[in-house]
Amino acid sequence: MINYSSGLLWYICILSICILSTILVNMITPTISEPEIIAWGSFNYCQSLALRYGVLRRPLGMFFDSNGFDAEKNDIHIVVKCGEWVVGCLILTDYRVGFKMRQVAVLDDWQGKGVGKKMVAYAEKIAIDCGKTMMVLHARQSAIPFYLSLNYHIEGDEFEEVGLPHYSMYKLMGR
């Protein structure tokens, strides 16, 4: 397991892994794996942190609060890899009668190539297998067309989260 107590060193490691993974992914044969569940605190988890930082946080000038990592221990972490490198990730958090899908990120070079669709389909299968009846999420405005194409529905009005417009979305499982 990884000790998350050294903040600056942790951010340098995340940034280094993000840069290295981008370079290596572009050098190897572009074949993606099937989605898989990974362990919290594993090397793949560290790669997913780097990916989430690079795709979701760095463009907004945001950093991780390392105190939040412990809260993810009981979540389900899903990744898609190219070789040994994570190119897509998402988290499922237990939420009432369903799961909340969050922190969905795909490396820029892999967006539009089916990585996100594979992860979401796998997440939905897990939800059904766990007896969940609904998947909920907060989607950035830019991601709305992606989720609509997967039969998710908008619920309520636009709201702001992390400084960006978002919508609550949901999908009933098994339909």
111 is a domain residue: yes
Say if 32 falls within a structural domain. yes
Q: What's the whole-model pTM score?
A: 0.82
In total, the chain counts a number of residues equal to 175
Q: Tell me the pLDDT tens digit for each residue of 47-70.
A: 999 999 999 988 888 887 777 788
Give the domain extent around 113: 7-172
pLDDT band at 174 (very low <50, low <70, confident <90, very high): confident
- Of 26 and 135, more confident: 135
- Each residue's pLDDT tens digit, 107-164: 999 999 999 999 999 999 999 999 999 999 999 999 999 999 999 999 999 999 999 9
Q: Which pLDDT score, from 0 to 100, does residue 15 have?
A: 62
**What one-character-per-residue DSSP string does 43-79 give?**
HHHHHHHHHHIIIIIGGGT----GGGSGGGTTSEEEE
Provide the CATH number for the domain around residue 95: 3.40.630.30
Q: What is the count of structural domains for the chain?
A: 1
145 inside domain:
yes
Would you say residue 2 lies in a domain?
A: no
Q: Residue 174: count other Cβ atoms within 10 Å of its Cβ.
A: 10
Tokens of 153: 């529905």
